[in-house]
Amino acid sequence: MEQRNGNPVLQKVAFVRGDGRSPSEIRHISARLGVFGQADGSAYLQQGLTKVLATVYGPHQPRGKSAGNMLKAVKGIVNCQYSTAVFSFGAGVRKKRPRGDRKSQEREQQLRHAMEAIINLELFAKSQIDIFIEVLQVDGSEFCVAVNAATLALIDAGIPIKDYAIACSITVADDVTEKDEEGAQDGGSLIDANWVEECSPGFTLSIVSLPKVVDETQTQSSLILAHGAGRRLHLSRLEALRQRALDACKDIRDILDAVVRNHLHTHAAIQSVEK
């Protein structure tokens, strides 16, 4: 087969990606809850080679400058901190500051928006919930993994939430020709992009959703936020991309739900032995 122009990693040879996945395949997910003893809730989530730690403190009394605004508030405050370790990128690349730059601040706001959508903050009037995210290793879609890890940490902390906030990313490669575009609306779209696919010329859409299970066969997802990066995308392709990413969110929810239930069985077994 003749090699096309463009990124050689994204060659569509028998529909296999550079890391051996099919276009609709999610990277391997492994998670642990309760990794820190001193935090109220904590979770470690690994999706492919992307590793994220999340800790939750609270609800507790507000401290610092947010305490002044608390006197008028009737709802609680969610405080998020998004931090990327200086060693988390590839070989030779080192960040100068783990947090506080423009990109981290933007992701802090998006993460806070996603968490406020699932926590019933009226229950925690005049209180504050702190969520700290530490990205240990970056291999693409690290914001999506951070949102999933924060959800697991909230569950471990025992904070009542409406549902899981599941994030997933989808990437459109740049080497899609117009012929493919006419045939399939989602032609060339890749679920759960890794670092190489994210850095290639194209478009990456990251969404956070609430995949609410209506019954056994049907899932109705509501979108919390969507974030696009890269070059321009034609509007006619957005709906197909969105729907495909929402379907992937449902699969991730099933995986995380199995992790939580396994943690519950282990925890409940320990408690029953103690009694």
Partner 1 sequence: MNPKYPIICSPGQRLCQANKQYIAGQGTYEELGYIYSKFAGTVKVIEKDETYTIEAHGLPDPTIVPAPGDIITALVTLVNQRFAKCDIKCVGDVTLSKKYRGILRREEVRATEKDRIEMYKSFRPGDIILARVLPMTEAHTFQLTTAEDELGVVIAESAEGAQMVPVSWTEMQCSKTSIREPRKVAKVVPEDVALGKK
Residue 123, both tokens: 């229950």
Q: Give the residue, chosen from 64, 68, 92, 158, that forms a contact with partner 1 under the rule CB under 8 A.
A: 158
CA–CA distance from 218 to each of 75, 105, 247, 255 (Å)? 34, 36, 11, 17
**Minimum CB–partner distance for residue 243 and partner 1 (Å):** 21
Q: Give the residue, chosen from 164, 203, 241, 244, that forms a contact with partner 1 under the rule CB under 8 A.
A: 164
Encode burial over 185-210: b for 16+ CB neighbours within 10 A, e otherwise: ebbbbbbbbbbebbebebbbbbbbbb
155 contributes a contact to partner 1 by CB under 8 A: yes
160 contributes a contact to partner 1 by CB under 8 A: yes
Q: Give the residue, chosen from 139, 142, 156, 192, that forms a contact with partner 1 under the rule CB under 8 A.
A: 156
71 contributes a contact to partner 1 by CB under 8 A: yes
271 contributes a contact to partner 1 by CB under 8 A: yes
149 contributes a contact to partner 1 by CB under 8 A: no
222 contributes a contact to partner 1 by CB under 8 A: no
Nearest to partner 1 of 59, 140 (CB atom): 59
Q: Give the residue, chosen from 113, 212, 242, 250, that forms a contact with partner 1 under the rule CB under 8 A.
A: 212
Give the residues across from 226 on adjacent strands.
207
Contact 143, 247 (CB under 8 A): no
145 contributes a contact to partner 1 by CB under 8 A: no
Stretch of 57-65, 80-88, 184-192, 221-229 lying at the interface with partner 1 (CB under 8 A): 57-65
Encode burial over 49-86: b for 16+ CB neighbours within 10 A, e otherwise: ebbbbbbbbbbeebeeeeeeebeeeeebbbbbbbbbbe
Name which of residues 84 to 143 contact partner 1 (CB under 8 A). Answer: 120, 126
Give the residues across from 170 on adjacent strands.
191, 205
Between 226 and 265, how does the x/- string for binding to partner 1 read (CB under 8 A)?
A: -------------------------------x--xx-xxx
45 contributes a contact to partner 1 by CB under 8 A: no
Radius of gyration of the chain (CA): 20
* Total residues interacting with partner 1, rule: CB under 8 A: 29
**Minimum CB–partner distance for residue 59 and partner 1 (Å):** 8
66 contributes a contact to partner 1 by CB under 8 A: no
269 contributes a contact to partner 1 by CB under 8 A: no
What is the distance of C-alpha 257 from the center of its chain?
15
69 contributes a contact to partner 1 by CB under 8 A: no
Give the footprint of partner 1 on this chain (CB under 8 A).
40-41, 59-61, 71, 120, 126, 155-158, 160-164, 210, 212-213, 257, 260-261, 263-265, 267-268, 271
